[in-house]
Amino acid sequence: MRLKLGLEVLGLLVLALLIAVMPRLVDNFTAYEMATVGMYFIALLGLSILTGYSGQISLGHGAFMAIGGYTTAILSVDHGVRDLWTIPIAGLVAGVAGLIVGVPALRLSGLYLALITFGIAVSFRQIPIKFDHFFGGTTGKVLGLLKTPFGLSATPEDWIYYLTWGIAFVLLVVAWLFVRGKPGRTLKAIRDSEIAAASSGISIARYKMIAFGMSAFYAGVAGALYAIARAYMNPDVFPIILSVYLVAALALGGIDSFVGLIVGATIIYVLINRADDVTGWINHLPGVSLDSKRPGMPDVIFGAVLILVLITLRTGVGGALRRAFGPLTTRLYSRS
């Protein structure tokens, strides 16, 4: 146990080192890409606390990212708040939204919660369209271009990289402490047997709601960073399918595995931001000639891989899925 703790701390330190050093090794654009991966990483981190530890499914976390993005956009464009300070506020706003969703979520078992959160993902973009004076409608809002603050001498790309991964590291440590500490152990107890946990006096509701709020906070922060990096925000920046990707990436990468989260974040990055390039890469294969105006290939590959992985892993055949979702089965809506 001691040794394991030591290894984990060591792992975190190595990670911190890697983060600090990376921009020296890669060019500007790659630093920008890595920053984007970091944003998805933050969102996945939050989702892993929600799904992995409190056992609640959310197919709508893209909406919390959008809340974060819009908070940042509105604050910085309409109220001149410096983009940096909007990040924690965006997280808080999204976190509160998460708590609000967390209330009815308490009364919904797995399948129904998936349904509702999916509904949130699908219908959320109607809100900025309806209240277009506030949100900018379909055009959205344009933020100030990404620039390095305080007269620091880094490039904007390096700046967003350090900002994102710095925040990611802090949030990772927080999540790590949360999971290892009392809240995490409590959630694990709840996850493994709600009845036993309830009878020992633990306030399940409180912890499940906190998990929801926390995961939404993370998503909001990620969304804020994303909007700052791209310098614009509109209803299509966080599409419906992103929410699906988030859950799918978690299923593929595994919850407990930190590397899995990074891999998952990278996959999401490729699917959302580099889909066209994937088509281009595939065209290099002999005999393959895909119309680059028809960008469906990455989704086809992703969907197929996801299905294959889930089919071959099945239930109880070891591996990430069982570790990730196994204890969930006692909690989720089970067939009678």
Task: Read off the amino acid at residue 211.
Answer: A
103 and 208 in contact (C-beta within 8 Å)?
A: no
Candidate residues 248, 255, 265, 267; the one interacting with another protein per rule CB under 8 A: 248
Cβ proximity to another protein: between 153 and 199 the closer is 199
**Number of helices and strands (H, E) in the chain?**
17, 2
Cβ proximity to another protein: between 91 and 253 the closer is 253
User: Least distance (Å) from another protein to the CB of residue 142?
Assistant: 22
223 and 98 in contact (C-beta within 8 Å)?
A: no
196 binds another protein (CB under 8 A): no
237 binds another protein (CB under 8 A): no
Residue 285's CB is within 10 A of a number of other CB atoms, namely 9
Burial class (CB in 10 A: 0-12, 13-18, 19+), 235: buried
Cβ proximity to another protein: between 87 and 125 the closer is 125
- The residues pairing with 232 across neighbouring beta strands, listed in sequence order, are 142
Candidate residues 9, 13, 17, 195; the one interacting with another protein per rule CB under 8 A: 195
Interface with another protein in residues 51-90 (CB under 8 A): 57, 59
- Dig out the tokens for 49 from the structure: 């606390």
Cβ proximity to another protein: between 31 and 242 the closer is 242
314 binds another protein (CB under 8 A): yes
Dist CA 82 CA 76 (whole Å): 6
Measured distance between the N- and C-terminal CA atoms of the chain, rounded to whole angstroms: 39
204 binds another protein (CB under 8 A): yes
Dist CA 265 CA 278 (whole Å): 16
Cβ proximity to another protein: between 44 and 146 the closer is 44
Cβ proximity to another protein: between 118 and 161 the closer is 118
Residue identified by tokens 């992703």 is 302
Residues contacting residue 271 through CB under 8 Å, at least 6 positions apart: 245, 298, 299, 302
x/- letters, 96..115, toward another protein (CB under 8 A):
--------x-xxxxxxx-xx
- Dig out the tokens for 179 from the structure: 């999971």
Candidate residues 85, 134, 281, 333; the one interacting with another protein per rule CB under 8 A: 333
Size of residue set near another protein by CB under 8 A: 64
- Residues near another protein (CB under 8 A): 57, 59, 104, 106-112, 114-116, 118-120, 122-124, 126-127, 129-130, 194-195, 198, 204, 240-241, 244-245, 247-248, 251, 290-291, 293-304, 306-307, 310-311, 314-316, 321, 325-326, 328-329, 332-335
